Amino acid sequence: MTQEQRERKLRQEIHALRVKKFHWPLDAFRFIIKGLGYGESLRALPEDRLTELKALLLKYRKHGRPHAFTFDAQGKYMFYLMKTAGWTESQLRAFMISHYSKTHWNLLNKNERRAVIAMLQNYIKQNEKKAKNTTNKETSNGHPQTPQG
């Protein structure tokens, strides 16, 4: 395989990563690689720079957060509670910032973590009670419900 063929293959693999892993449009990709110091065109890069860029893209995690900011087991439970309660990550982050002045779950101490989990559990219970009361009001029209068949 000639150098030109290897470079072409690397460019194809880089574009495959751009599309499949990151879902970046071409303009955004050009902006990103330019910001990283690779210029705007992959065709202008020699094989060693293409290999370096491909390795960088393979190592990069899509969500952009460093490994230290992924959730532990307790954090995954909290995330489940957050979703069950109908909260978004932004709402949870705003709550943590306003109550604990911390931006991420991993920065909370043990007591703060317990408090966040307890708050989410309480919020879920309140939502379940509201849903149950709404259901009871809809079905209690003075007559017992009989199944329709």
Cα separation, 121 vs 75, in Å, equals 14
Q: Which two tokens stand for residue 22?
A: 């990151």
What's at 110, amino acid-wise?
A: K
* CA atoms in the 13 A half-sphere facing the CB of 102: 11
- Pair 93, 103: CB distance under 8 Å: yes
Phi then psi dihedrals of residue 132, to 5 deg: -65, -45
Tens-place pLDDT, residues 93-120: 889 888 998 878 888 999 999 999 999 9
More confident residue, 140 or 129: 129
- Pair 42, 11: CB distance under 8 Å: yes
What's at 138, amino acid-wise?
A: E
Answering whether pTM is above 0.75, one says: no
The band of 84, judged by pLDDT with boundaries at 50, 70 and 90, is very high
